[in-house]
Amino acid sequence: MAAVLFGLVLVGAALLGAPRPAPAGEAITVFAAASLKTALDEISALYAEGGGTAVVSLGGSAALARQIQYGAPAQVFISANTAWMDALESGGLIDAASRVNLLTNRLVLIAGRDVQTDLAIAQGFDLAGELGSGKLAMALVDAVPAGIYGKSALQSLGVWDAVEPKVAQADNVRAALMLVAMGETDFGIVYATDAAADPRVRVIGLFPPESHPPILYPAAVVAGPAQDQGQAFLDFLRTPAATEVFLRQGFGLAESGS
């Protein structure tokens, strides 16, 4: 089972795509949290209709931030938490003036469509017992925002110690989603928007917002060449057309408080 899980994680990472440089003068590269995949697929297509080209490379926020630290050529970074954006700002690697809190999200417990359970999220709920000998899919709990939020929520609810040995960690939240969707694990913790993107899973319940830090998606232009083009794409993310896509996918707007 461990080998199968590891293989699926690698497949998930491959499907999301590895960061790559944009051709000079032709496109900008956007590094974005994996949970934004469905929305940014649609938004980048809308952007192209207006004559712009954005190559969107998705992955765990931690991995993408580290690649920027190592000099990977990107013009825009969208993280699923503030900590990784803070790290880049403190290193002078983003244009601090361009930084905005773009979106919000919710954290959910999911199960496969065929999994029968009456489990309800509450203080001390018996998630470990429900898992039995099975596994709980989560993004990397000490590095990837979705995993960090999930671990915090389980700790707050007093069940982390019992659940920790049963966690199957994935490189990013979409890889964790895939493990549940393909039936390799019965349960997983992902964002509400991820759950909505795959009909093979269903939401068991929402984690209380107070059980974990606020889920915020900061976005900023990466310092370096093509900052004007990066700002143009960042501005497009806040247009009515892009906003409609984000809201339809289930995100909230951080700046408006919705």
pLDDT digits (tens, 9 = 90+) for 119-143: 999 999 999 999 999 999 999 999 9
121 and 245 assigned to the same domain: no
29 and 64 assigned to the same domain: yes
pLDDT on residue 26: 65
Instruction: Decide if 258 is inside a domain.
Output: no
For the record, the structure tokens of 70 come out as: 């190592």
Instruction: Decide if 2 is inside a domain.
Output: no
Q: Which of 58, 89, 79 is nearest to 254 (CA)?
A: 79
Instruction: Decide if 35 is inside a domain.
Output: yes
Location of structure tokens 């089972």? 1
Instruction: Decide if 201 is inside a domain.
Output: yes
CB atoms under 10 Å from CB of 30, counted, come to 29
pLDDT on residue 253: 95
118 and 142 assigned to the same domain: yes
Q: What pTM does this model have? A: 0.84
pLDDT on residue 225: 84
Q: Which of 205, 210, 201, 186 is nearest to 119 (CA)?
A: 205
With beta carbons less than 8 A apart as the criterion, state whether 68 and 223 touch. Answer: no
Instruction: Give the whole-angstrom CA distance, residue 104 versus residue 213.
Output: 11
162 and 196 assigned to the same domain: yes
226 and 100 assigned to the same domain: yes
Instruction: Decide if 1 is inside a domain.
Output: no
Instruction: Decide if 119 is inside a domain.
Output: yes
Q: Say which CATH number the domain at 226 has.
A: 3.40.190.10
175 and 86 assigned to the same domain: no
82 and 138 assigned to the same domain: no
| pLDDT tens digits for range 59-106 | 999 999 999 999 999 999 999 999 999 999 999 999 999 999 999 999
161 and 231 assigned to the same domain: no
pLDDT on residue 1: 43
18 and 78 assigned to the same domain: yes
Instruction: Give the whole-angstrom CA distance, residue 201 versus residue 186.
Output: 9
Instruction: Decide if 7 is inside a domain.
Output: no
31 and 65 assigned to the same domain: yes
147 and 126 assigned to the same domain: yes
174 and 87 assigned to the same domain: no
Low-confidence ranges of the chain (pLDDT < 50): 1-25, 256-258
Instruction: Decide if 8 is inside a domain.
Output: no
Residue 71 CB burial class (10 angstroms; 0-12, 13-18, ≥19): exposed
Q: Which domain holds residue 207?
A: 107-211
In total, how many domains does the chain have?
A: 2
